[in-house]
Structure 1
């Protein structure tokens, strides 16, 4: 297994000045860190069509917005899902000449260059998919076309590796597909080999699988897979995302695992059951801006900001090294008046400020403040009744006993085991994940266990309980 050695490489290109900031994996195999050894919190956004559908000014607006909201990783696809090989980008350019991966179109890749450079200037790491999975054979065909074999996949990988050797990014192979057979596995292996040859092993590499699965399900732990990524998908509210982290972290050798695609804010629940994916299917059911008029067409509703926030906390408290938020309009980069892939509620610009996206800044702030790299998932800390369903309380303790966390998606009285918490003085707070505000718990004394009642108990009023050893609080 390769281990990436952090390098600070400053160089001039024809486009701009870039300072490479490739991520490393922490010595314990659980998390990411910067070249300087600082913990890196993966808070991603699925901007799959970023390179394909946005022009320079639109891309800058998108990146600046996400940077201000605290996102750290932007996941985007060079050969995109929305007919990204045969439909030109926002500048009118196709990625290849004659659909040949060994004949890249310089104009197309200059646009990719620009976006990656702009993201890096803002301190954002790019999660770059060389291609969506429909360009390689699978059991779930898409727009395609199928253009890769072992030879050209390696050539294309080497081209990308060399071109983006000094950028701040991670490589994400796959693209919503499982590995259909040995021949397909060899194509992905060849692309990964080309990437590593081209970038001299400077970047971490993972694989984005189909829904409700992990890269550990799709692959047999190839040497190039530096960390696992799972897609819990869009099947239901309160999906048991913690099962993916638990399974991946039990594997050996241990690697970080990241939620790469959870339920998107504003996407219909189990949308595939209520649409046929045919051109013009909803042409008489959209408003003047191109969004769905009658949400009742999807009887299970649309995922809300609350829904995605629950998944975010459940993932991290299960030991995942990161969480990727998504919005249905943003992944498509859906523009007013255009045809959507999956029915939208707003255009991509309007979607940037949706409640779930805004709450991600408070999500990140909470975990960075407590040193998330100490998290050890431990459901035995909850002494109240606590089954694996939508009422579940998710709990974790620091590996040094300096804090205990309990996340209550549905507020109710909770009894916490505090026997492993260190210190003679404890501090307790209720953290509001909707706005980042804290409410102190007064007169908290060390005890084997204590019972707590959240400040409010309304619908979708989730709360985070934090009990800390006062002597070990960061930035006291």
Structure 2
């Protein structure tokens, strides 16, 4: 008990000293760009969403561990942390590391203040590290009785009350994004849970004085929020989940392109690609006999979704999202602890992706697969390409190293700068300037499976620095 009091005292002290952390928050709130496809902040800065799935953060970590996790993700360049307030795995009945459950007497209308003090603190810790918290008010099994531990506790009335309470409690915290859902569909067959989510969204909007940015974490498969709730006025951004159940090279680039072309556009992103070190097998078996997704799988899905028009992407590691440790039973064959999973190469690979995208003007970029004249492949060899809206540069992700031919008529300069970017190392390995032809061949520094490359083409008149700088 003495140790618990010391830890709780540390939390309270930290919360008190960090109470004004938001005054140092310079980013403003998240909002949609004027063209409807990308993200920016209310201080007019473009924003590339690089998220990390920390679903069980509030439920399974203590203050010291949370600090370690946030420090690591900040150092790697993540700027969004996705976490669940009412978590999936017995999150209603099983207390957090400080003995607190989120609801008094398991009643959604009586939140436990002590549990939410930790949520308060983490939000301010993230703000101090220049990161947004993407908060799920609840995991979807508390609304949708299809599968999961539940229990189902929400209806339209208490969903609105809970949403308004959350919105009002956190209305001054500008580094919050709200994500409804939680791996569940808003509608399926004859069942329709949209009225409940709609009520929760209305509560969040009213509680935040209509300042809330709200999205939805949808379910796995060839599904996107655009298919069921794109027209909902409360939805700020579409998401999809290319996930872990479809094997290798699920065509997420097609889904992104589909969403991008919708009327009344909204930004879209893959909010859950394959988790690094997750078994490669169809849901729900998750049998590890076929191996595990590695960093190469992660890069292919993340780069191709972004290059096809995604406003960002969320990475996940199979040990980290569940915060697996010796204290917990591993979920779906987690093969390493969360602390061991922090430094897996996939996390570095997506951090390099953010640096690459942000090194050129990316609001308004144009997905242009027609640029590829020769060398396009399918599945694991599918190439994605985009160019800047001023025809000032282009980036082409080549998942399997090989010679390709590109149409460069869109670039009006007589010369062209060519850079080969290594997504495994996050650096340029070759650069040159040559005379530009309308059709040009390009050969990467190395060929074959596992040798993925980004080809960057610059118009010399814009005098861009080498990629990633």
Give the TM-score taking structure 1 as reference length: 0.90
Deviation by residue 1:404-437 (Cα, 9 ceiling, x = unmatched): 2211100000111000013233211000001112
CA-to-aligned-CA distance 1:200-221 (integer Å, 9 cap, x gap): 1222101111102111123252
User: 1:354 & 1:317 partners in 2: Cα distance?
Assistant: 23
Residues 25, 13 of structure 1: alpha-carbon distance in 2 compared, 3 angstrom cutoff: farther
Q: Paired residue for 2:275?
A: 264
Pick the aligned partner of 2:240 from 209, 230, 234.
230
- Contact 1:425–1:471 (CA under 8 A) maintained in structure 2: no
2:358 paired with 1:368: yes
* Partner of residue 38, structure 2: 31
Matched ranges for 1:69-84 at <5 A = 69-84=76-91
- Give, in whole Å, the separation in 2 of the partners of 1:443 and 1:395: 20
Q: Distance between the aligned counterparts of 1:320 and 1:159, measured in 2?
A: 32
SS in 1 for 2:197: helix
Contact 1:209–1:218 (Cα < 8 Å) also in 2:
no
Q: Which residue is equivalent to 1:335?
A: 325
Q: Which deviates more from structure 2 when the two are superposed, residues 86-95 or residues 389-398?
A: 389-398
Partner of 2:54: 47
1:328 and 1:344 in contact (8 A); partners too: yes
- What is the alpha-carbon distance in structure 1 between the residues aligned to residue 278 and residue 82 of structure 2? 18
Aligned to 1:356: 346
> 8 Å contact 1:375–1:399 — kept in the other structure?
yes
Gaps of 5+ in 1: 1-11, 276-296
1:294 matched residue in structure 2 = none
Query: 58-67 vs 388-397, which deviates more?
Result: 388-397
The answer to whether the aligner puts 1:16 opposite 2:16 as a matched pair is: no
Are residues 1:192 and 2:193 paired? no
Deviation at 1:14, TM superposition (A): 8.2
Residue 8 of structure 1 corresponds to which residue in structure 2? none
Q: Secondary structure at the match of 1:462?
A: strand
Secondary structure, counterpart of 2:343 in structure 1: coil
Q: 1:419 aligns with which of 406, 409, 427?
A: 409
Which residue matches 1:92? 99
How do 1:147-186 residues align onto structure 2 when only pairs under 5 Å count? 147-167=153-173, 168-180=175-187, 184-186=193-195
1:300 to 290, 295, 300: 290
Q: Residue 441 of structure 1: CA displacement?
A: 3.6
Query: What is the distance in 2 between the residues matched to 1:377 and 1:173?
Result: 29
**Shift in Å, 1:469:** 0.4
**1:95-134 to 2 correspondence within 5 Å?**
95-134=102-141
Alpha-carbon distance in structure 2 between the residues aligned to 1:251 and 1:245: 10
Q: CA offset at residue 13 of structure 1?
A: 7.4
Question: What is the aligned counterpart of 2:452 among 433, 441, 462?
Answer: 462
**Two-structure CA RMSD over aligned residues (Å):** 1.7
Q: Residue 23 of structure 1 contacts residue 34 of structure 1 at CA under 8 Å; is this kept in 2?
A: yes
**Equivalent residue of 2:104, what SS?**
coil
Which structure 2 residues correspond to residues 402-417 of structure 1 after superposition, within 5 A? 402-417=392-407
Separation in structure 2 between the aligned mates of residue 221 and residue 247 of structure 1, nearest angstrom: 15
Contact 1:317 1:375 in 2 (8 A): no
Counterpart in the other structure of 2:6: none
Give 2:255's aligned residue.
Answer: 244
TM-score by length of 2: 0.91
Tell me the distance in 2 between the aligned counterparts of 1:101 and 1:434: 46
Secondary structure, aligned partner of 1:195: helix
Counterparts in 2 of 1:63-74, with a 5 A limit? 63-74=70-81
2:199 match: secondary structure? helix
Secondary structure in structure 1 of the residue aligned to 2:121: helix
Distance 1:335 1:397 in 2: 44
2:336 to 339, 343, 346: 346
* Cα separation, 2, equivalents of 1:462 and 1:357: 16
Which residue matches 2:8?
none
Answer whether contact 2:288 2:333 (CA < 8 A) is retained.
no
Contact 2:84 2:137 in 1 (8 A): yes
Counterpart check, 1:448 vs 2:438: yes
In structure 2, stretches of 5+ residues that fail to align are: 1-14
Tell me by how many angstroms 1:300 deviates. Answer: 2.0
Query: Which whole-Å CA distance do the structure 2 matches of 1:217 and 1:48 have between them?
Result: 25
Shift of 1:388: 3.3
Q: Distance in 2 between matches of 1:88 and 1:26?
A: 40
Distance 2:155 2:229 in 1: 18
- Contact 2:416–2:433 (8 Å) recurs in 1: no
